[in-house]
């Protein structure tokens, strides 16, 4: 089966994030970039399906020049081809613009039985791109998948919902977004790392897809990031001494949780 994995290259989750001078972008100076961790679940699932069923795995990303390193890292774990749509600075954070580019790239690249995406790109955390790509391609999607079984012409996906689990069947071709728990992503092997550099990465511009990045980021923008700010520093917290009267301390804690924090 032909599998397509859409990946995003995001700041390492261990990074210290600073707001850039413009006020609506992060400061990228000195950041280390990684494959978005949820995309790793999508990738692992695609590789497992390929190993079980045969076929190909194609990675597609939309991002600046540095995103090529992310594609190499994907290829190091396995997979057959990679497409790099260059750009993304102007459309940063606009899930619809990103989805329009990725959907066009999928169409241009080939016909796929299954498209796999991380449930969200770590950092912007919108959780929109996968569903939007499916909509633009006019195929069904299942979001937040934690277990996947692919049959002939259809799939069964388990997804977490509030307070329970939902089991969904959908016809192929389909798009799923991968949630933590779907699998345990593998580490790339050294041989995979060495082999990945020999696989050509197809570079495309947004214009090659019949789209105009300026228009996507301008007249047709789905959203614009106006301002970013860091969360306020945490306060010191309240310590309730409990050694002399544990029962009283517990009562006091419960009262504070209910009346002050409104947590219970």
Binding site for another protein (CB under 8 A): 12-14, 32, 34, 37, 69, 72-73, 76, 187-191, 193-194, 196-197
- Residue by residue, DSSP assigns 137-171 as HT--EEEEEEEEEE-SSEEEEEEEETTEEEEEEEE
When the beta carbons of 190 and 233 are compared against another protein, the nearer one is 190
Tell me how far CA of residue 33 lies from CA of 122, 140, 144, in angstroms. 11, 31, 24
For the purposes of burial, counting CB atoms within 10 Å of the CB of 120, is it exposed (0-12), middle (13-18) or buried (19 or more)?
buried
When the beta carbons of 39 and 94 are compared against another protein, the nearer one is 39
- The minimum distance between CB 32 and another protein, in angstroms, equals 7
- The minimum distance between CB 34 and another protein, in angstroms, equals 7
- The minimum distance between CB 13 and another protein, in angstroms, equals 5
When the beta carbons of 169 and 189 are compared against another protein, the nearer one is 189
- In whole angstroms, give the CA distance from residue 194 to residue 221: 40
When the beta carbons of 81 and 211 are compared against another protein, the nearer one is 81
When the beta carbons of 17 and 194 are compared against another protein, the nearer one is 194
- The minimum distance between CB 187 and another protein, in angstroms, equals 5
When the beta carbons of 189 and 205 are compared against another protein, the nearer one is 189
Contact predicate 9/35, CB 8 Å? yes
Name the 3-class secondary structure at 68.
helix
- The minimum distance between CB 92 and another protein, in angstroms, equals 22
Contact predicate 59/82, CB 8 Å? yes
- The minimum distance between CB 201 and another protein, in angstroms, equals 12
The three-point CA angle 130-26-205 to 5° equals 50
- In whole angstroms, give the CA distance from residue 49 to residue 149: 9
């Amino acid at each position: 089966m032909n599998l397509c994995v859409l990946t995003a290259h995001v700041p390492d989750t261990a990074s210290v994030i600073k707001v850039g001078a413009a006020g609506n972008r992060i400061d990228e100076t000195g950041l280390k970039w990684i494959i978005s961790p949820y995309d790793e679940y999508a990738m692992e699932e695609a590789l497992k399906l390929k190993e079980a069923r045969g076929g190909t795995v194609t990675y597609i990303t939309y991002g600046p020049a540095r995103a090529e390193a992310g594609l190499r890292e994907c290829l190091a774990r396995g997979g057959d081809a990679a497409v790099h749509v260059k750009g993304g600075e102007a459309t940063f954070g606009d899930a619809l613009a990103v989805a329009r580019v990725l959907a066009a790239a999928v169409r241009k690249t080939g016909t796929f039985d299954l498209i796999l995406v991380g449930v969200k790109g770590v950092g912007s955390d919108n959780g929109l791109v996968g569903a939007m790509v499916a909509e633009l391609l006019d195929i069904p999607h299942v979001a937040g998948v934690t277990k996947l079984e692919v049959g002939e012409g259809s799939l069964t996906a388990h997804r977490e919902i509030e307070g329970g689990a939902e089991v969904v069947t959908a016809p192929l071709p389909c798009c799923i977004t991968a949630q933590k728990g779907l699998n345990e992503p593998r580490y790339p092997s050294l041989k995979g790392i060495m082999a990945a550099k020999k696989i050509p990465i197809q570079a495309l511009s947004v214009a090659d897809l019949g789209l105009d990045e300026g228009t996507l980021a301008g007249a047709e923008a789905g959203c614009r990031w106006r301002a970013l700010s860091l969360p306020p520093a945490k306060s010191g917290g309240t310590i309730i001494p409990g050694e002399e009267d544990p029962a009283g301390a517990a009562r006091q804690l419960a009262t504070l949780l209910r009346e002050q924090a409104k947590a219970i």
